[in-house]
């Protein structure tokens, strides 16, 4: 019997390198981990520009975050929003938390492309039939572009101790 209650958590396994992350992490530090969403279930493609930010520490929901984790997630969400707009040309960025199926906080950061019909704005943005979707290889390419933008724009300029 495994004594570690987080051993079976999919998000914790991802952080430990036990789950596939197409293209690898976009950013990670002692507090947070961000990546592009991978393929779920039987998917062969997934919406390009669907990102996650998660606390590294197992925290089921918003109320479980430390102030430092909450601050890092907020700063990083803003930076990822800018990266999506610059690298993929998305025109509006949504951020939401559901948490009904995975008991480890994960913030969705997902953008809307300019061609998206109004009926697919909001939480249905990835249901638009014409939405750009990609294979694991294409997700890895998008991840690389976002990470390069992020690194060039933020990592070189952050003073020590700046979150995300």
Task: Tell me if 83 sits within 8 A of 146, measured CB to CB.
Answer: yes
Contact present, 34 and 91 (Cβ < 8 Å): no
Catalogue all structural domains in the chain, each as residue range(s) with its CATH number. Answer: 10-155 (3.30.428.10)
- What is the average pLDDT across 21-44? 95
pLDDT at 163 over 60: no
**Contact predicate 84/129, CB 8 Å:** no
In this model, does residue 161 exceed pLDDT 70? no
Q: Using one digit for the tens of pLDDT, what is the confidence trace for 48-100?
A: 999 999 999 999 999 999 999 999 999 999 999 999 999 999 999 999 998 78
Q: Quick one: angle between helices 67-88 and 136-150, nearest 10?
A: 110
Determine the pLDDT at residue 4: 59
Question: Which DSSP string do the residues of 45-62 spell out, in sequence order?
Answer: -EETTEEEEEESS---SG
Residues 37-60: pLDDT tens digits? Answer: 999 889 999 999 999 999 999 999
């Amino acid at each position: 019997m495994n004594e570690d209650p987080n051993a079976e958590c999919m998000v914790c396994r991802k952080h430990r390198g036990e789950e596939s992350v197409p293209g690898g992490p976009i950013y990670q530090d002692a507090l947070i981990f961000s990546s592009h969403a991978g393929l779920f279930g039987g998917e062969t493609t997934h919406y390009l520009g669907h990102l996650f930010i998660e606390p590294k520490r197992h925290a089921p929901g918003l109320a479980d975050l430390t102030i430092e984790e909450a601050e890092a997630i907020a700063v990083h969400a803003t930076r990822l929003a800018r990266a999506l707009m610059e690298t993929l040309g998305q025109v509006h960025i949504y951020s939401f938390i559901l948490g009904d199926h995975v008991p480890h906080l994960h913030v969705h950061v997902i953008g809307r492309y300019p061609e998206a019909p109004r009926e697919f704005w909001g939480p249905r943005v990835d249901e638009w039939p014409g939405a750009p979707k990609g294979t694991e290889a294409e997700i890895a390419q998008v991840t690389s572009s976002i990470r390069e933008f992020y690194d060039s724009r933020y990592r070189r300029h952050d003073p020590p101790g700046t979150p995300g």
